[in-house]
Amino acid sequence: MGTAPTEVLAFPKISAIVRENRTAEVIVAGNSRIVPAGESLQELRNNALALVMGEAQTLQRPVRVQIEDPEGHGELIVHPDNKIESVSYEPRPTRRRAEAPETTPGTVAPAVTDAAPARAPQPAATPTEPAAIPAAAATADGRPCPPNSVESGATPAPANPVEPQTAALAGEAPPTRRTLKETSFLVSAPVLEPATQGWRGTLTRLGVRMDPSAEELSEREDIRTVSQHWPGPRTIAVVNRKGGANKTPTVVMLSAILARYSGAATVAWDNNESQGNLGWRTEKGSHDRSVLDLIDSSTELLSPATNAAEIAKFVHHQTADKFDVLRSDENEEGDHEVTAEEVDIAHQVLTRYYRLVVMDSGNTARAANWRRMIDHTNQLVVPVTAIEDRAEAARLTLQTLESRGGHDAELARNAVVIVSESTDAKRSMTGEALKRAKDEAQRIADGFEPFVRAVVRIPYDPALVNGPIRYEALQPATRRAWLAAAAAVAAGF
């Protein structure tokens, strides 16, 4: 027979503490034991539980353990045979984005109505207006009916139930039945899958089914949003009139997340007037072709007889992140600037072969190719680093579009602003300097929030600073933030 939770001794006092900085310790009777490092917080939790199980096996009895975690706190009972019971668990309150939709809407039971309409209530008699007295009714032989047998304005009730055929002959509506179209045996409410993350996920894998935390539900909702398919192609423009505002990393990350989760054919297009750097931050294919080569071959690519795989001659596939890149012209001796008409041609070709087009841009909002890009845009994204001149350039970019009115102004009002923490000398920043950098990012984010549809903050990550950008190379917190950013963008489709 098993031991009841109330019978398990609280001695020795055991605590398992897992911290956000990927360190953990198990404290047994005041003695701290460092938990072996893991690749993730989840692996740290498993390692911490392994130490507690070792203590239970040493004592040859169940032990109580208090758990502390970035997601919440509670109490478990760990048995020597590796069985784990949850005594209590309380999640920590999490800050949710204001624009995030509810993730678990409650189901409402359908209202049940009577088939026959209700009779309207009769007005009550008042002292100054006595109730009307019905005229005396007579039977077939001329004798009066009893006074209480007839109500004012009501049909006399028969002494015996009336058959439907008789009721129909008497002018009464027969009882109605509901049609089979009004019901269904299918379960319409979504089934909530158990937790997979945190202590809740650990307990679920050990056989104690736990509901997901609010943070996990939020992540599931973001994944659902970016996994959607939309009728017709969609074009995203990433713009800021200032260089070094994180435009190219934003293009790469949005393309990677949308391609990975939605499975839709996605292309990142470097729409710089001459030479951009999107090609430098992504994988290069087995050729050197650019947007100019695609424009020159547009007639062939738009022909109904052309195979869809022919587009691979002009784009550079990202093997891990599953999207393609259309590079700008990298010919050092060339001086060609892309025109508005060439933007039209390239966009027509790409939207034939791809469902999502993510456009990088130059720094000149007056350039012909920049303005024509805006004409094709469905969703505007304005990246900015937490530096005041980048933020001011982003504000001026939005102000320029808003002043043009029409489609441009609508894009500005529904824009998504992505604020990345400053990367300038970040590796040498410690303590108070790091706090100031985070405070500055929050100040800039708060400043944009009243004027656009959504603002998302991205933490500093060294994998975004130099070299080719890979989604899997990012830290977990950075990947989560970019998923939220991509969901905010996709919500505008």
Regarding whether 453 and 313 lie in a shared domain, the answer is yes
Q: State both tokens at 52.
A: 């507690």
224-270 confidence digits (pLDDT tens) = 999 999 989 999 999 999 988 999 999 999 999 999 999 999 999 99
Regarding whether 240 and 376 lie in a shared domain, the answer is yes
Question: Does 451 map to a domain?
Answer: yes
Q: Please give the sequence-ordered ranges of beta strands (E in DSSP) within 343-453, or none if there are none.
A: 356-361, 379-385, 416-420
Alpha carbon separation from 445 to 100, 440, 483 (Å, rounded): 16, 9, 18
Residue with more model confidence, 439 or 259: 259
Cα angle 398-345-326, degrees, rounded to a multiple of 5? 75
Cis bond upstream, residue 12 (ω within 30): yes
336-392 confidence digits (pLDDT tens) = 889 999 999 999 999 999 999 999 999 888 999 999 999 999 999 999 999 999 999
Cα angle 464-467-468, degrees, rounded to a multiple of 5? 85
Domain end residue (candidates: 143, 171, 205) = 205
pLDDT at 227: 97
Regarding whether 271 and 201 lie in a shared domain, the answer is no
Pairwise CA distance, residues 46 & 69, whole Å: 12
pLDDT at 76: 93
What is the three-class DSSP state of 463?
helix
Q: In terms of C-beta density within 10 A (0-12 exposed, 13-18 middle, 19 or more buried), how is residue 306 classed?
A: middle
What is the three-class DSSP state of 405?
coil
CB within 8 A of 489, min separation 6: which ones? 236, 254, 258, 379, 381, 416
Question: Does 18 map to a domain?
Answer: yes
What is the three-class DSSP state of 311?
helix
Q: State both tokens at 293.
A: 């080569």
Regarding whether 201 and 242 lie in a shared domain, the answer is no
What percentage of residues in the chain have a pLDDT greater than 70?
A: 80
Residue with more model confidence, 208 or 124: 208
What is the three-class DSSP state of 129?
strand
Strands 63-69 and 72-78: antiparallel
Question: Does 100 map to a domain?
Answer: no
What confidence category does residue 474 fall into, taking pLDDT thresholds of 50, 70 and 90?
A: very high
Tell me what the mean pLDDT of segment 278-303 comes to: 95
Question: Are 27 and 15 spatial neighbours (Cβ–Cβ below 8 Å)?
Answer: yes
Q: What is the DSSP string of 155-221?
A: PPPPSSPPPHHHHHHTTPPPPP---GGG---S--SPP-PPP-SHHHHHHHHTT---PPPHHHHHHHH
Global pTM?
0.70
Angle between helices 198-205 and 214-226 (to 10 degrees): 90
Domain end residue (candidates: 170, 205, 240) = 205
Regarding whether 440 and 323 lie in a shared domain, the answer is yes
Regarding whether 201 and 346 lie in a shared domain, the answer is no
Backbone phi, then psi, for 357, in 5-degree steps? -120, 120
Structurally, the chain folds into a number of domains equal to 2
Regarding whether 244 and 201 lie in a shared domain, the answer is no
Among all chains, which residue has been given the structure tokens 């009550």?
Answer: 124
Tell me what the mean pLDDT of segment 409-429 comes to: 81
Regarding whether 424 and 355 lie in a shared domain, the answer is yes
Question: Are 482 and 253 spatial neighbours (Cβ–Cβ below 8 Å)?
Answer: yes
Question: Are 238 and 374 spatial neighbours (Cβ–Cβ below 8 Å)?
Answer: no
- HSE-up of 411 (CA within 13 Å, CB side)? 27
pLDDT at 152: 41
Q: From the CB of residue 271, how many other CB atoms can be counted at a distance below 10 Å?
A: 28
Pairwise CA distance, residues 453 & 449, whole Å: 7
Tell me the CATH number at 336: 3.40.50.300
Question: Does 417 map to a domain?
Answer: yes
CB within 8 A of 89, min separation 6: which ones? 67, 72, 73, 74, 75, 199, 200, 210
Regarding whether 300 and 376 lie in a shared domain, the answer is yes
Regarding whether 475 and 412 lie in a shared domain, the answer is yes
CB within 8 A of 174, min separation 6: which ones? 164, 167, 168
Alpha carbon separation from 477 to 197, 214, 312, 465, 486 (Å, rounded): 14, 16, 34, 16, 14
24-63 confidence digits (pLDDT tens) = 999 998 888 888 888 788 888 889 999 999 989 988 999 9
Cα angle 350-356-358, degrees, rounded to a multiple of 5? 85
Cα angle 465-470-471, degrees, rounded to a multiple of 5? 105
What confidence category does residue 132 fall into, taking pLDDT thresholds of 50, 70 and 90?
A: very low
Regarding whether 480 and 378 lie in a shared domain, the answer is yes
Regarding whether 13 and 82 lie in a shared domain, the answer is yes
Question: Does 46 map to a domain?
Answer: yes
Question: Does 52 map to a domain?
Answer: yes
Owning domain of residue 67 = 8-93+197-205
Alpha carbon separation from 48 to 136, 207, 256 (Å, rounded): 91, 18, 34
Question: Does 309 map to a domain?
Answer: yes
3-state DSSP helix/strand/coil percent for the chain, to nearest 5?
Answer: 35, 15, 45
Q: Please give the sequence-ordered ranges of beta strands (E in DSSP) within 322-378, or none if there are none.
A: 324-326, 356-361
Residue 13: pLDDT over 60: yes
Tell me what the mean pLDDT of segment 203-226 comes to: 92
Domain end residue (candidates: 205, 240, 260) = 205
Length of the chain measured in residues: 493
Question: Does 389 map to a domain?
Answer: yes
pLDDT at 275: 79
